Amino acid sequence: MSEFLSENLPKFSSVLSVIAAFFIILGLIFAIAGRANGKKARPIALTIFLGPALVLLLAGLVIPGVRTILFSFMNPDSNEFIGLGNYQWMLEDPNVKTIMINTILWILVVPLFTAALGLLLAVMLDRIKHESIPKALLFMPMAISFVGASIIFKFVYEFNEPDQVQIGLLSAIVKFFGMTPSDWMLSKPLNTFLLMIIYVWTQMGFGMVILSAAIKGVPADIVEASALDGAYGWRLFRNITFPMVKGTFIVVLATGVVGALKVFDIVRTMTGGNFSTNVLANEMYSQTFVQFDQGKGSALAVILFLLVTPILIYNIQSLRKERAHN
Amino acid sequence: MKRKGLLAVTAAAALSLVASMVTVTSATAAVNCDPYAGYKSMKGKTVTIFTSILEPELTTLNTAMADFQACTGIKVKIEGSNQFEALLPVRVKGNNAPDLAWIPQPGLLAKLVETGKVKVAPKSVVANVDKYWSKSWKAYGTVKGKFYAAPFGSNMKSLVWYSPKQFKANGYTVPSTWSEMTALADKMAAKGQIAFCGGLGSGGATGWPATDWVEQIVLRDHGSAVYNGWVNHTVKFSDPRIVSSMEKVASWMQNPKWVGNVKGIATTTFQDAGKGIPDGKCMMLQQASFYGNIIAESGASISPTGDAFAFYLPATNSKVTVPVVGGGEFTAAFASRPEVVAVQTYLSSATFATSRVQLDNWISANSGVPLAAYKNPVDKLSATYLANPKSTFGFDASDLMPAAVGAGSEWREFTAWFGEGKSIADVVKAIDASWPKS
C-alpha cells in the first residue's frame, strides 16, 4: 500500500495541478474577454475564444495531416522523397487489392446492417411492455471493446476436426443440423463476413437507441391522424415513421461507414489480417509499426482519409440544409 | 468558516498519515553482497527496462536480480508487453524511451540505432562481452562497426518436443538422424497417431513458427554460407536451393499423413499446438527451447523421463555439422546515468547469467556460466549445442531480414502457404517482390 502511494502520489498531484492550471487559465481568459467593451470587444472575443481552438487544430490535425501526406511520398524512414512509389505499390501489390476489396465490403455491408437492424429493433420494441429491459440487453454489447468482443467470438468460431466434439458455438450449431463445420476463419470469403458480424453485434444497439429516440420524437398527433386515415403497420412505417426518422437513419449510417473504415481491432485480434481478411487500417498499422515503413503506412492513411472525405462533405451539406430549414 | 477549518485539519491529518506510510522502509534480508562489491551503492535510484518477455518469466527475472537490487539499492522495474516491437519505436520517437530494453531482433536494434537515441555500450559492458561471448554473438549487437548491445538471454530453436512417457509406452526411441525421424513418423501414422503438431497463430505475428521451420531446413541442407546469403537476399527465396528446402518443409509439416489437418496449423496458436504432447494427442513438435515453459503451464513435468522433453532436430546433410538455429535478446540502453550503466554491466556479467540459469528455464551463451549450474535439463541440452565449437550457428533469419520481409511478407506468405494452400512458387515470388529495394 505504501509503495503504491509513494509511486502514484506524485502522478495524482501532477494531474490535479494540471487540471487546476487549466481552469485558472480558462478563468483568466474569460475575465479578460468579459472586460473588453466598445469597438474592440468583438475582435478580442474572437481571438480569445477561437485562438486556442485554432492552435490546437493546427497542432493536432493540420500539421500531422500535412506531414502524413508528405511522408506518403517518402521512403520508409521519411528522409528521402521517392515520388509516387508508395502509391504505385498500392496499385500493383495483390495484397493491397484484397485489402481494398475487403474495406469496400466493410463500408457497404456493415453500416447498412447496423442501421437496418437497429431500426428493425427500435420499431419492434417500441411501446412494448418493459421496453427498457430488452433494449438494455441489446445495448450492452456496445460496452464491450472490439478486442473483448473478438475474443468472445473466437470461441464462437472455434473449430475442431469434424469427428471431434465442437466447442465453438457456430460449429456446434452447424453440426446439430447435420452439416459439416469448417474452419471458419479459413473459409473465404465467408470469414470477412463473420468478422463483420462482430462489429454489427456490438454496434446495432447504438443504432437502435438513437433510432428509438427518433421514433419517439414522431408527434403523436401525426400518428393518430394517419391512423384515422387508415394507416397501420407497414403503411404507417413506410409513409409516416420512416420519412420522419430518415435523417437520424442517415446519421447512423454515416457513423457506421466511418467506423467500418477505421475497423482494426477485430481483424487484428481474429486473424491478424491473414486469410484474405485484411483491411486498410490494419495494414496501415502493420506497415508503420511492424514493418517500419512510414511511407507505405502514410500512403494508406491518405487513402483512408480520401475515403472518409465524401462522407464528411455529405454530413456538412445535410447540416447546412437543416439550418436553412430552420 | 468553522466547517472549513475542520476540513483543513482532517486533510492535514490524512496527508501526514500518507507521509508516514511512505517513509516506512522494509528491513533488508541477509544477503551475500560480495559479488556486487564492484558496484557503488545507489540507493533510491530506479532503472526501467522494457521487454517483450511476459509473466511468469518476469517474476523469475526479478528474483534473479533481487540480490543485486538489495546490495546496490538500485530498483529495477521491468515492464513487459506483447506489443513490444510496435511500442518501443513509438516510445523512443516520442522521447519516452525506457532506460534499457531487451531487443529480440538485431534488425530492430539497427533501426533504433538510426534514431540516434541508443547509447554506445560502456567500457565495462564491452569488457564483459569480450570475455564471455564469442565474436559472432558480439557482431549481432554491433551496428555499423559500433558495439551497442550485449547479448542477454538466448534460445535454441533446433529442438523437437516430445513426451518420453508416450514414447516409452509406444516403444519409440528418440531419432538421431533425419531418416530415423521420418521412419518414426511413418510408424506413428500407421498407428493412427498424429506424428507432428504445429501452430502458426500468434496475433499480429502469426506465421513466425513457419519461418523457423524453413530456417531449420535451409541451414541443415545448405550450411552457413547459403543461410547468410539468404538473409542478405544475395540468395533469393526463388533460388532453387531455398525452394527445395521449402519443399522439404512441405513434405514434413504439410504432410497430411503426419500432421492431420494441414490448414488447421495456420489457425492454431503456437501455444495451443503442443498442448496435446503430454497425453499423446500428437507426438512431436518442432519448437524453440522456451517452449518448455508453455508446456509446463498445464502442470506437465519436463524431464528426460517425464511428460515432455526435447531432442535435437537431426541434421539433414552430413557436410553441415551440428546445425543450430537460435535467437536471443540484446540489452540496449537509451540512458547513460551511472545506475543504468551499473545494471547494464551486471546484466552482461556471468554473475547474473548464473543466478538466472539456476532458477529455471533460461539459457545464456555466456561462457562464464558453468554447465553444471543449469537446473533445467532442456537448457543444459541447448547450452551444450549453443556452446559446441563444431556447431554451425545461424541466428534466426527472419529476425535478421528487413522488417518488411522478416516481420511482414514472410509471416503473411507462409501463413497463406499453410492456411490457403498457396503454392511455393507464388509464395517465394511474393516475398522476393516485397524485399526493399535499396
B25-67 tens-digit pLDDT: 444 456 788 888 888 888 889 999 999 988 888 899 999 999 9
Contacting residues of A for B403, CB less than 8 Å apart: 290-293
Whether B215 and B348 map to the same domain: the answer is: no
What torsion do the CA atoms of A232, A237, A243, A244 make, to the nearest 10 degrees?
Answer: 80
What torsion do the CA atoms of A180, A184, A189, A194 make, to the nearest 10 degrees?
Answer: 120
Mark yes or no for CB contact A161/B260 under 8 Å.
yes
Q: Which whole number is the average pLDDT over B175-196?
A: 95
Which of A76, A268, A290 has its CB closest to that of B85? A290
Which of B22, B114, B204 has its CB closest to that of A272? B204
Whether A43 and A141 map to the same domain: the answer is: no
Whether B173 and B57 map to the same domain: the answer is: no
How would you write the pLDDT of chain A (326 residues) with one tens digit per residue? 567 777 777 788 889 999 999 999 888 877 877 777 777 777 877 887 788 889 999 999 999 999 999 999 999 888 889 999 999 999 998 899 999 999 999 999 999 999 999 999 998 888 788 888 999 999 999 999 999 999 999 999 988 877 778 888 999 998 889 888 888 998 888 999 999 999 999 999 999 999 999 999 888 888 888 888 887 788 888 888 888 888 889 889 988 998 999 899 999 999 989 999 999 999 999 999 888 899 999 999 999 999 888 888 888 888 788 777 76
- Do residues B380 and B166 lie in contact, with contact meaning Cβ atoms separated by under 8 Å? no
- Do residues A151 and A269 lie in contact, with contact meaning Cβ atoms separated by under 8 Å? yes
Whether B357 and B320 map to the same domain: the answer is: no
Whether B91 and B57 map to the same domain: the answer is: yes
Decide which of A38, A71, A104 is a domain's last residue. A71
- Total number of domains in chain B: 2
Q: Is residue B15 part of a domain?
A: no
Whether A110 and A206 map to the same domain: the answer is: yes
Residues 12-31 of B with CB under 8 A from A: 18, 21-22, 24
Distance from the Cα of B163 to chain A's closest Cα (Å) equals 23
Whether A202 and A134 map to the same domain: the answer is: yes
Which of B407, B412, B430 has its CB closest to that of A274? B412
Q: Is residue A79 part of a domain?
A: no
Whether B196 and B104 map to the same domain: the answer is: no
- Residue A9: φ, ψ to 5°: -60, -50
User: Which of B187, B156, B200 lies closest to B378 in space, CA to CA?
Assistant: B156
Q: Is residue B238 part of a domain?
A: yes
Q: Look at residue B16 and tell me whether its pLDDT is greater than 50.
A: no
Q: Is residue B1 part of a domain?
A: no
Residues 120-179 of B with CB under 8 A from A: none
Question: What pLDDT does A144 receive?
Answer: 92
Q: Look at residue B13 and tell me whether its pLDDT is greater than 60.
A: no
CATH number, position B87 = 3.40.190.10
Distance from the Cα of B104 to chain A's closest Cα (Å) equals 14
Mark yes or no for CB contact A77/B114 under 8 Å.
yes
Which of B89, B260, B430 has its CB closest to that of A292? B89
Q: Is residue B30 part of a domain?
A: no
- Give the residue from chain B lying closest to A296, CA to CA: B404
Which of A2, A271, A286 has its CB closest to that of B21? A2
Contacting residues of B for A77, CB less than 8 Å apart: 114
Whether A266 and A307 map to the same domain: the answer is: yes
Q: Is residue B13 part of a domain?
A: no
- Residue % of chain B over a pLDDT of 70: 92
Whether A137 and A47 map to the same domain: the answer is: no
Whether B120 and B139 map to the same domain: the answer is: yes
Contacting residues of A for B412, CB less than 8 Å apart: 95, 273-274
**Amino acid (1-letter code) at residue B220:** R
Residues 6+ apart with CB under 8 A from B157: B212, B215, B216, B287, B288, B289, B324, B325, B326, B327, B396
Whether B292 and B401 map to the same domain: the answer is: yes
Mark yes or no for CB contact A291/B403 under 8 Å.
yes
Whether B137 and B152 map to the same domain: the answer is: yes
Q: How does residue B413 score in pLDDT terms, banded at 50, 70 and 90?
A: very high
Q: Which domain holds residue A184?
A: 85-325
Contacting residues of B for A159, CB less than 8 Å apart: 264, 267
- Total number of domains in chain A: 2
Whether A235 and A285 map to the same domain: the answer is: yes
- Do residues B340 and B408 lie in contact, with contact meaning Cβ atoms separated by under 8 Å? no
Whether A44 and A112 map to the same domain: the answer is: no
Decide which of A71, A104, A129 is a domain's last residue. A71
Residue pLDDT, tens place only, B274-315: 999 999 999 999 999 889 889 988 899 999 999 999 999 999
Whether A61 and A97 map to the same domain: the answer is: no
Q: CA A29, CA A34: separation in Å to the nearest integer?
A: 8
Q: Is residue B103 part of a domain?
A: yes
Contacting residues of A for B204, CB less than 8 Å apart: 268, 272, 286, 290
A232 or B400, which is more confident: B400
Whether A105 and A60 map to the same domain: the answer is: no
Whether B335 and B239 map to the same domain: the answer is: no
Q: Which whole number is the average pLDDT over B133-159?
A: 87
Q: Which domain holds residue B267?
A: 159-325+394-434
Taking the CA atoms of B124, B127, B132 and B138 in sequence, report the sign of the dihedral they define: positive
CATH number, position A196 = 1.10.3720.10
- Give the residue from chain A lying closest to B46, CA to CA: A7
Q: CA A142, CA B115: separation in Å to the nearest integer?
A: 41
User: Which of B160, B50, B145, B148 lies closest to B96 in space, CA to CA?
Assistant: B50
Residues 6+ apart with CB under 8 A from A72: A86, A87, A295, A298, A299, A301, A302
Whether A296 and A226 map to the same domain: the answer is: yes
Whether B316 and B351 map to the same domain: the answer is: no
- Do residues B51 and B84 lie in contact, with contact meaning Cβ atoms separated by under 8 Å? yes
Q: Is residue A164 part of a domain?
A: yes
- Give the residue from chain A lying closest to B88, CA to CA: A289
HSE (side-chain half, CA atoms, 13 Å) at A73: 7
Q: Is residue B31 part of a domain?
A: no
Report the relative pairing of strands B46-51 and B75-80 from DSSP bridges: parallel
Q: Which residues of A touch B (CB under 8 A)?
A: 1-2, 5-6, 9, 76-77, 94-95, 159, 161, 183, 185-186, 188, 268-269, 271-276, 285-287, 289-293
Contacting residues of A for B209, CB less than 8 Å apart: none
Distance from the Cα of A292 to chain B's closest Cα (Å) equals 7
B333 or B387, which is more confident: B333
A29 or B114, which is more confident: B114
Residue pLDDT, tens place only, B223-266: 888 998 999 899 999 999 999 999 999 999 999 999 999 999 99
- Among B17, B22, B211, B267, most A C-beta atoms within 10 A, so best to mutate, is B267
Q: What is the DSSP letter of A311?
A: H
Mark yes or no for CB contact B436/A185 under 8 Å.
no
- Do residues B244 and B273 lie in contact, with contact meaning Cβ atoms separated by under 8 Å? no
Whether B256 and B330 map to the same domain: the answer is: no
Whether A35 and A174 map to the same domain: the answer is: no
Q: Is residue B4 part of a domain?
A: no
Give the SS3 label for residue A120. Answer: helix
B266 part of contact set with chain A, CB < 8 Å: yes
Which of A94, A95, A291 has its CB closest to that of B404? A291
Whether B280 and B369 map to the same domain: the answer is: no
Contacting residues of A for B404, CB less than 8 Å apart: 76, 291-293
Q: Report in angstroms the alpha-carbon separations of A76 from A298, A303, B436.
A: 10, 17, 9
Q: Report in angstroms the alpha-carbon separations of A155 from A73, A148, A151, A158, B180.
A: 42, 11, 7, 5, 39
